[in-house]
Structure 1
């Protein structure tokens, strides 16, 4: 018997026009149209990861997503880590194509927020600190994503996801989504019990058939027990100094010893170790291995959150989405039953 998923419906679902309060993280390079469409068709809310991508590629991915589904979606950009001219061209192309929702990350850039808001678009802003949350609210964000240090990829703050979310929830009436280490229904159930409007998952969807990540990256996640992730700013080429990422251990991080943080991108060597259709990928760059990547994949940034230990196989995105939803619905129903019994015996 299928669990009653109505317990999962939150105002976020109505705002973003999706059935389930589960967001696909806008993972650069990985969250392309194929994965976004699979998440949308499964009832979740998809975000295209278009960080620093050329406007032409953004247009190609948007058109491919729309050809696959008419579901709502967002485009993820990072204003604070993108050349202003490129960012201007990215936003302009998205608006020309009728994009109605954006997802921003890292420092709040008022000019970028104002531009998409003045165009009538919804803005989802991911933050890693309470200060960034306040700034996003002040600039007019519609949804906040509280990202904890458990998250894979670029990590903005140093607070655990649920602790940060609790602080954000105490200060705003906006829908708050929790991101970081969530890979199953228990995480979603815990988030909704806390009062959050939903969750965002990255690693859980990276290890799916439709993700544009390389199979090597996917299998490293499957083999992980969750304890082999670490936070480092060694993979910082192409990003501002001090931008830490959570990755799986590899030979590059092992060679760093205890020196995981404090790296200056200007002091790191620019040595090609892999290629994407002829484009070199450098050791210490933020690039992760994609389907098109060849070369020394082991030394690249293998992004993964601490929830990797709960991922045991590569499956279609809809399968993972349904497992998360069904498990969460079952747990919430059980918890509600227990609370009702406790009230009755009090």
Structure 2
């Protein structure tokens, strides 16, 4: 459990049932039960990344997570990027399992928010624009996660994380969490000083021993600096046109030259370059390499945010969280001394 003097505690912690305001991003495929349990048991707030996963896998993951921790958690699904029939089954299974919190992302789908709110569930909604923040809040979201353009993975907006958070904070009636480029305690302290109530971290927790990402992906994150990441929509198969992602530059992005954006999934070739548990994976798909992926890993989407420069080694998730807590405490204590 994180050791804190209380400088970091915010009302968000009471709402979510965590000790420190550090949220694990619901990274699809990466944030499975092992990583979620490690973050939760260390005092943070965990999310299971179940984007487009089967209800059966969701049940397996939820049960495994509950066996590993008694801490609260959320399940992350993406309504606008999931077949409606599958989404219906995902949410129904979660509700049957007694899941009490959901994280949503991309376009705001008010009817989906309303469905889980009617069941008494908390809703955390990640947004990339002030307008999306207003829509999510009006739909009933309990927490707004403002994702900046610095973030790894799918990026919905084009505004910096702190600039977006500052704008959203002017009118927000619910807690605001900063996401994008935050991988250290200094980033957490800055977010709290801005008036946000916490941070969400993806890249920082991808490079941990419990993450379900492939070791190759973790090693590339450790070796990368923020300037080694690029924003592109070439890794778009399985998602709507124009869905940009931030990845570590590789041979695919280098081959694009200055055409990183503007790709139409309908015109991209379907070529198998890797396999995962017997399933073929295509070049230009949104799939990133998981533990058991084999094939051309270098050509896949290697998600990472601009905060990668602060990640210098693969360590247990609890250790990363505790380092962030200690650093943030130190930063805030130094600010108090100057006042």
TM-score by length of 1: 0.97
Shift of 1:146: 0.3
Instruction: For 1:138 and 1:311, locate their aligned partners in 2 and report how far apart those are by CA, in whole Å.
Output: 36
Aligned match of 2:127: 127
**3-state SS of the aligned residue for 2:226?**
coil
* Cα offsets for 1:230-260 (capped at 9, x unmatched): 0000000000000000000000001111110
Contact 1:5 1:325 survives alignment (8 Å): no
* Cα offsets for 1:112-137 (capped at 9, x unmatched): 11100111100000000000000001
Contact 1:3 1:330 survives alignment (8 Å): no
Contact 1:229 1:304 survives alignment (8 Å): yes
Aligned match of 2:297: 297
**3-state SS of the aligned residue for 1:47?**
strand
Instruction: For 2:113 and 2:85, locate their aligned partners in 1 and report how far apart those are by CA, in whole Å.
Output: 16
Q: Say yes or no: does 1:85 pair with 2:85.
A: yes
Q: Say yes or no: does 1:330 pair with 2:319.
A: no
- Alignment CA distance shift 1:4-1:277 (3 Å): closer
Shift of 1:226: 1.6
Contact 1:5 1:326 survives alignment (8 Å): no
Instruction: For 1:189 and 1:293, locate their aligned partners in 2 and report how far apart those are by CA, in whole Å.
Output: 37
* Cα offsets for 1:38-73 (capped at 9, x unmatched): 000100000000000000000000000000001000
- Alignment CA distance shift 1:176-1:273 (3 Å): same
Q: Say yes or no: does 1:306 pair with 2:292.
A: no
Aligned match of 2:217: 217
Instruction: For 1:82 and 1:119, locate their aligned partners in 2 and report how far apart those are by CA, in whole Å.
Output: 21
Unaligned runs of 5+ in 2: none
**3-state SS of the aligned residue for 1:256?**
coil
Shift of 1:3: 7.8
Q: Kindly report which structure 2 residues correspond to 1:159-308, keeping only aligned pairs within 5 A, or say none.
A: 159-308=159-308
Instruction: For 2:3 and 2:155, locate their aligned partners in 1 and report how far apart those are by CA, in whole Å.
Output: 34
Contact 1:155 1:246 survives alignment (8 Å): yes
C-alpha RMSD over aligned residues: 0.9
**3-state SS of the aligned residue for 2:145?**
strand
Contact 1:208 1:316 survives alignment (8 Å): yes
Contact 1:206 1:213 survives alignment (8 Å): yes
TM-score by length of 2: 0.99
Shift of 1:110: 1.0
Aligned match of 2:21: 21
Shift of 1:173: 2.4
Contact 2:16 2:72 survives alignment (8 Å): yes
**3-state SS of the aligned residue for 1:275?**
strand
* Cα offsets for 1:304-344 (capped at 9, x unmatched): 000001000000000000000010011001101101xxxxx
**3-state SS of the aligned residue for 1:43?**
coil
Shift of 1:4: 4.7
Q: Kindly report which structure 2 residues correspond to 1:41-56, keeping only aligned pairs within 5 A, or say none.
A: 41-56=41-56
Instruction: For 1:219 and 1:3, locate their aligned partners in 2 and report how far apart those are by CA, in whole Å.
Output: 29
Instruction: For 1:54 and 1:140, locate their aligned partners in 2 and report how far apart those are by CA, in whole Å.
Output: 26
- Figure out how many residues of one structure are paired with residues of the other and give that number: 338
Instruction: For 2:22 and 2:118, locate their aligned partners in 1 and report how far apart those are by CA, in whole Å.
Output: 27
**3-state SS of the aligned residue for 1:6?**
coil
Aligned match of 1:342: none
Aligned match of 1:344: none
Instruction: For 2:6 and 2:120, locate their aligned partners in 1 and report how far apart those are by CA, in whole Å.
Output: 30
